[in-house]
């Protein structure tokens, strides 16, 4: 998913499990035209550009996470019974 500020000329690319929801929350309070969201929640930058090609001209930024930490976060997110993730049944008895 990409969040765009047309007035500021930037595009924030939200990568899952990297704190992007917090970043979006903070930016939404600071930037007046922040609510322009492109793409699905798990979309790629390629999909976002296909929906809105002006993203190519914007300053783009994102946050990444140390790969092992990201893997742990994804694993335990799927393992939460309330997540309703399709792979929950496959890993519910596993531990990292």
- Condensed to tens digits (0 to 9), the pLDDT of residues 34-91 reads 766 777 766 677 887 888 888 889 998 888 888 888 778 878 877 887 777 777 777 7
pLDDT at 35: 63
- The answer to whether 37 touches 3, Cβ cutoff 8 Å, is yes
pLDDT value at position 55?
A: 84
Say if residue 22's pLDDT is above 70: yes
Q: Do the bridges between strand 2-5 and strand 59-61 make them parallel or antiparallel, or are there none, so unpaired? A: unpaired
Q: Do residues 14 and 24 lie in contact, with contact meaning Cβ atoms separated by under 8 Å?
A: yes
d(CA 81, CA 60): 35
Spatial separation of the C-alpha atoms in residues 40 and 10, rounded to whole Å: 18
In eight-state DSSP terms, residue 22 is: H
> Rounded mean pLDDT of 19-31?
85
- Predicted confidence at residue 30, as pLDDT, reads 87
pLDDT at 89: 77
52 contacts: CB under 8 Å, gap ≥ 6: 2, 4, 38
């Amino acid at each position: 998913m990409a969040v765009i500020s047309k007035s500021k000329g930037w595009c924030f690319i939200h990568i899952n499990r990297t704190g992007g929801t917090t970043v979006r929350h903070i930016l939404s309070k600071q930037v007046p035209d922040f609510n322009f969201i492109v793409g699905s929640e798990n979309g790629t930058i390629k999909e976002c550009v296909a929906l809105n090609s002006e993203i190519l001209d914007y300053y783009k930024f994102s946050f990444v996470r140390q790969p092992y930490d990201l893997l742990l976060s994804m694993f335990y997110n799927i393992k939460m019974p309330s997540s309703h993730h399709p792979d929950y049944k496959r890993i519910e008895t596993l531990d990292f």
